[in-house]
Structure 1
Amino acid sequence: MIWLQTKKTAVVIFGALLNALSMNLFLRPANVYSSGFTGIAQLLSKILTVFTPLTVSMGYLLLLLNIPVAILGWKKVGKSFTFYSFLSVIFSSLFLELIPLKAVSHDILLNAVFGGVILAVGVGLTLKWGASTGGVDIIALVLSKLKDKPIGTYLFLMNAIIILTAGYLFGWEKALYTLVTLYTSTRVIDTIHTRHEKLTAMIITKKSDELKKAIQAKLVRGITTVPAKGAYTNETKDMMVIVITRYELFELERIIKEVDPKAFTNIVHTASVVGLFRRD
């Protein structure tokens, strides 16, 4: 367990380093904007520097914006997920201050593409290990647990505000290149992890009772158990069907490996869910 936590911490810190590198070496020098809270912090820092006598660093603003979200996540989501997510925010803010702001290339398209790819690798690795980069991801999980509301609309509106504001204040060309960054990062994250909000896990196991108790102790999700029989061995087993969010995938995989390493699990994308999603 200690080794797993150490490895997870190292992955989160490495992901934060990649996020900061993408911002300070590619996106910020080219005035191309990121998405979510990172993009908001970037835009606010630019606005304050250009239009007011104040100069507030992006790293400080990113940390400040995530404090209330972390408090919300601590109360509504869970201590482990929120801890590692805020750890990612802390190190992202720190690296943003330590890494010099320097353009690797003067080609804005190269900056938009490579900045988006590096950013996505950092985000994807963090998500794959059961944490997030804070901000929108924590809000999404809170909404999912409380009301099962899709976050696509909220995420679209937030990014639209960033793009339109940046375009209006600093030129529409930069706003259009921001779209290139958003598209590139989304595709890469799809490859590393998944951007699908909901997933269905079908677990074939001989230890359904133990797995059910372990899963329900960690995840607020209902489970359907179906009798199953191996076609080759003729062994009687159970197939457990559970719908989860992408944020819960790491935790589910960890539980399965601990309780029944021999279980066969199939993870598929879920287009929509009708009916009760959470377990009351």
Structure 2
Amino acid sequence: MKINLKDIFLILVGSLFVAFGTYFFLAPNHIAAGGTSGIAIIINSIFPNIPIGLLMMGMEVILFTIGIIVIGPVFGGKTIFCSFSISALVLLMGKIYPNIKPFSNDTLIQLILGILICGLGMGIVFNLNASTGGTDIIAKIINKYTQISIGKSVLMADIAITIAATLILGVSKGMYAILGVILNSTIIDKVILSLNSYKQVAIISNNGENIKKYIVNELSRSATIYYAKGAYKNSNKEVITTILDRKQFLKLKNYIKVLDDKAFITVNDVNEVLGEGFTRII
């Protein structure tokens, strides 16, 4: 199983966001917004002497096994690493800042902040073909076999927890949990969409050869060449098309600005690119 250092770093960043949002915003307000963290918050509200981080660790084993069998060992390995990182970070935060209390009496704003932070972290993790563990493994399985988006799959997997939160923590907390799950699913989809957005660029320039060389040699991307006839001068034109991430597009735009400030460029946003050099088709 091969996991590069960039993946490990990003998984740790995602784990830190999830742990921070859970411990400082959701847990103090007893908002069980899905996942094993939600189940842990429910149990902790009944048995406050059992640490939330320890509860989260204890609930992962069966779901890990299911994830490894159904989705594969790479997903399973990343998920185990992520899940135990979150649990360990929550335990560490509990040691450094024990008995954390709500920051204010405004539960709604703390719910929104907590979900924003957790959703950002979960989006980063899901984008790396991993999950934060727990019910997110179920969401990943739903996504694999139905092509329902990850965010909506998380929503489906967490509904039962929000119902339990309503029964155990009260209607008010339960409604907050339901709102949290809905917000969380939306944020996850938005984060994944933004991390996988590209620019489809079409260029007409009198310096096409230099632009093609720059795309291939400097940006390490390929390009497709079309030939078109201009309606105004009835002349043949070479159209260079390529797909770049946002950083690469800015480099190309700045290069063309210096090389040919009269070049004609059209840009379209692309939400997903599959195939060689991009996301593997699965």
**TM-score, L = length of structure 2:** 0.61
Match of 1:215 in 2: none
Range 84-93 or range 155-164, more displaced: 155-164
Separation of aligned partners in 2, 1:80 and 1:144 = 17
Separation of aligned partners in 2, 1:186 and 1:144 = 13
Match of 1:129 in 2: 128
> How far 1:56 sits from its partner (Å)?
2.7
Match of 1:59 in 2: 53
Matches of residues 77-116 of structure 1 in structure 2 within 5 Å?
A: 77-100=71-94, 101-103=99-101, 105-107=103-105, 108-116=107-115
Separation of aligned partners in 1, 2:40 and 2:193 = 25
Number of positions where the alignment pairs a residue of Structure 1 with one of Structure 2: 215
**Contact persistence 1:113–1:180 (CA under 8 A):** no
Separation of aligned partners in 1, 2:70 and 2:269 = 29
Match of 1:184 in 2: 183
Distance 1:191 1:149, change over 3 A: closer
> How far 1:149 sits from its partner (Å)?
7.9
Separation of aligned partners in 1, 2:137 and 2:25 = 26
Structure 2: gaps spanning 5 or more residues? 201-223, 228-236, 246-267, 273-280
Structure 2 residue 52 is matched with structure 1 residue 76: no
Match of 2:158 in 1: 159
Match of 1:230 in 2: 226
**Contact persistence 1:82–1:131 (CA under 8 A):** yes
| Alpha-carbon RMSD | 4.0
Separation of aligned partners in 2, 1:92 and 1:15 = 9
Structure 2 residue 40 is matched with structure 1 residue 41: yes
Residue 230 of structure 1 aligns to a residue whose secondary structure is strand
Task: Please list the CA deviations of residues 85-113 of structure 1 after superposition, one character each: whole Å capped at 9, or x if unmatched.
Answer: 11110011111111134235223112111
Separation of aligned partners in 1, 2:153 and 2:124 = 23
- Identity score, percent: 20
Structure 1: gaps spanning 5 or more residues? 204-227, 236-252, 254-264, 270-277
> How far 1:9 sits from its partner (Å)?
0.7
Match of 2:259 in 1: none
Distance 1:180 1:59, change over 3 A: same
